[in-house]
Amino acid sequence: MSTVSATLKTAPAGNASALLLVLKLRTFIALIAVTLFFALMAPNFVSVANAVIISKHVAINAILAIGMTYVILTGGIDLSVGSIVGLTGMVAGGLLVHGIPLPMLGVIVYPNVIEVVLISLLVGTAIGAINGLLVTKLGVAPFIATLGTLYVARGAALLLSGGATFSNLVGRPELENQGFPVIGSGTVLGVPVSVIILIIMALVAAYVAQRTPFGRKVYAVGGNERAAALSGVRVDRVKIAVYMISGFCAAVVGLIVSSQLVASHPASGNTFELNAIAAAVLGGTSLSGGRGLIGGTIIGAFVIGVLSDGLVMMGVSEFWQMVIKGLVIIAAVVLDQLQRRLAANTRQG
């Protein structure tokens, strides 16, 4: 990198600030570049229907990445989200297929779809709260705490069915629990429900992060935890809240994934956490905390989504898809470092 910074230092100030602008917008430029590339290379890539499909695929990762961004903004990390996706999907599937048996009353209660959704969201949020408590009250490093819950939640998902899939989650008329597939395959005016959920969640998350006292506290905790605490921010509360947000987001994704497949599989969501972290980092969120935007994360998720769908449509082998995705993530981080050096140099100059 020494040669790069040497060039940057000697570059005229005008060029430097133009370069800085390009670097700042790099994720957006990357999105336009990959979209243009596939528009030229992949058959039928440019169509409204395909845009809808890509948004649907992106929604799964982007919703997880919203929660992940909040956690990373406080300087933490949440590795458990993929497992929470699997567990909440299994909770929903189990409630729809088997209900809640009450042995002392000798009856089985079948909650309706709204109740199933609420219970699943509660389970996800509760696991997030456990993560938060482990990190704050017990002082476990976020990486370790959420690695622990990653295993516990995945194991619990497998235990719920003994490893089997809950299939055919359409509900039964006599139990009044029909309608679950709407979350994954329903549309409103041609827009999939999952994409509408993403839009609402992204807008709310961006508003909360930028315009509310809570949002400012999240940035403050990630920027300088000690200074935030000294200025009266209840650091523990903020941290517990961000892990709960992340757990909630993961539960939403768990519901969408099992609704799309009309089946819940205990291994579902495996390694989703890595895609969510990649989207946040690609979107300019700093893993050391305090820096990043929800909007950037969403664009980051779209870069990954357009890339994977486009490569499938071009018929590129799975092995190359993995290599290309990895290279894009590395390039994003390298450019991030470059931007920071350049910004520092420009300020000095």
Partner 1 sequence: MKFAKTLAALALGAMAGIALAVPAMSQDGKLIVIITPSHDNPFFAAEAEGARSKAEELGYSTQVYSHDDDANKQNQLIDSAIAAGAAAIILDNAGADASVAAVQKAKDAGIPSFLIDREINATGVAVAQIVSNNYQGATLGAEAFVEAMGEAGNYVELTGRESDTNAGIRSSGYHDVIDQYPDLVMVAQQSANWSQTEAFTKMESILQANPDIKGVIAGNDTMAMGALAALEAAGRSDVIVVGFDGSNDVRDAIISGKVTATVLQPAYRQAQWAVELADKYLKEGSTGMDEKISMDCVLIDASNAEQLETFALAE
Min separation Cβ 275 and partner 1, Å: 12
Closest distance between partner 1 and the C-beta of residue 90, in Å?
8
CB of 96 to partner 1, least distance (A): 9
Cβ at position 258, least distance to partner 1 in Å: 10
Selected range binding partner 1 among 21-29, 140-148, 210-218, 258-266, rule: CB under 8 A: 258-266
Query: At 109, which helix (H) or strand (E)?
Result: strand 107-109
Q: Which helix (H) or strand (E) holds 139?
A: none
**Site for partner 1 contains 91 (CB under 8 A):** yes
Please choose, out of 138-146, 158-166, 275-283, 326-334, the segment that lies near partner 1 by the rule CB under 8 A: 158-166
How many other CB atoms are found less than 10 A from the CB of residue 296? Answer: 23
Give the type of residue at 45. F
Please select the residue that binds partner 1; options are 45, 70, 219, 243, rule is CB under 8 A: 45
Residue from 233, 261, 301, 303 binding partner 1 (CB under 8 A) = 261
Whether 38 contacts 234, CB under 8 Å: no
Task: Check binding of 112 to partner 1 (CB under 8 A).
Answer: no
Classify 66 in phi/psi space as left (phi over 0), alpha (psi -120 to 50) or beta: alpha
Tokens linked to 119: 């219970």
DSSP structure string for 152-209: HHHHHHHHHHTT--EE-TT--GGGT---TTHHHH-EETTEEHHHHHHHHHHHHHHHHH
What residue has token string 């002392």? 104
Write the binding mask 305 to 324 for partner 1: x where contact by CB under 8 A, - elsewhere.
----x--xxxx-xxx-----
Point out which residues bind partner 1 (CB under 8 A): 42-45, 47, 49-50, 53-54, 56-57, 90-91, 94-95, 97-101, 155-156, 158-165, 167-168, 184-185, 257, 260-263, 265-268, 309, 312-315, 317-319
